[in-house]
Amino acid sequence: MSQRESLEASKRNLLLTRLELSRLLQRLGNTPWTLLPNQAYQACVAPSVTVIITLFNYAEYIQECLDSVSQSDIKTLLGGFDVLVIDDGSVDDSVELVEQYIKYSTTPTCLVKKHFNTGLADARNLGLQLARAPFVFILDADNWVYPNCLSALYEAIIQTEYAGVYGMINCFDNNTYQGIGLMSFYEWDVRELIAMPYIDAMALFKKDILLQVGGYSTELMEIGWCGWEDYDLWLKIAQNGYSCKLVPNILSAYRVHSNSMIKTTNTYTPVLAKYFRKKFSRLVHKYSDLTQLFGFPRDIELALK
C-alpha cells in the first residue's frame, strides 16, 4: 500500500469511528448537532422545497452558493423554499461565514452544526431527516444554481409519479472559471445508468421516496467509495422501480476541482465493482447483454489481470 493509500485508509477509518459514535449518541437520545435558524426560517412554516447544502471546509465558496440559492425565482413555489446548511464539522471559517450570512439574510435558512465529521452521505441523510418540505434539492457548497432552477424542477415533478427530476449542469474549471462542458444531459434511461454514471447529485427529489429507498449509503466508506454516493442513490431509485426525468435546460453549475474525490476511487475498483454487482444484482441480471457495468468492464477481474 502506498503512502497516499495508507493516508486515505486512515481518514476513512476515522470517519467510520465518528459515524458510529454519532449513531450511538442518537440511540441514547442525544442529537450530535446544533440548529441555528434565522428568523425567516422560523416564519416559513410550510415550504414547498428544502434546499440541502452540504458543507465541509468550503469557506471560499459557500457565500457564492448561498447567494445563488437566495436569488431563486419562486413564483411557482406556493410555499416558497427553505435552506438547510449541513456543516460536517468544518475546521476552516465556513461556520462563521454562514452564521454571519444567515443573521442578515431574508432567505429562510438554518445552519446545522454537526459535532462530528462523518462524511457526505451521513450529512445528506441528516438533511433529509430535518427537511420540512416534501421535495428536497441536493446541493454541495462549492456549486451553485441559476435563478430558474428550483421553479423549473418543481414544475416538472409536482403531481407526477417521478421520484426525481434533474436539469443539465454547466461544468467549469475551479482555477479559470472557464466552461468545460455539460453533464446530466441524457434522458432517464436505466440501461444507460447501469452501464455508467451520467447524472449528478444536483436534482429535486420527493423526500418520502429517498427515505423509502434508504437515503444515501454510508457503508460505501467501508470499501473506499468516496465521491459516488450520488450514483449509488440513483441506482437504488432505479432498482426500486421508480423513474426520474430530465428537464432539458441548464439549471446549475458544477465546480471541477483538480483533486476531485471521485479520482480517489481507482485503488478500490475491483472491490467496488463486486459490491455494486451484488447490491444491484436485479438490474445486472436484467441487462445481461451489457459489456460495461457501473463504469467498469463487466469482466473486470479479467480486465485487471
Q: How far is CA 290 from CA 243, 284, 300, in A?
A: 20, 9, 13
The pTM is what? 0.93
Q: Residue ranges of the chain with pLDDT lower than 50?
A: 261-265, 302-305
Q: What is the pLDDT of residue 260?
A: 52
Q: What is the pLDDT of residue 243?
A: 98
CA–CA gap between residue 207 and residue 298 (Å, rounded): 33
Q: How many CB atoms lie within 10 A of CB 215?
A: 20
* Topology given in CATH for the domain delimited by 3-303: Spore Coat Polysaccharide Biosynthesis Protein SpsA; Chain A (3.90.550)
CA–CA gap between residue 280 and residue 79 (Å, rounded): 37
Q: What is the pLDDT of residue 304?
A: 44
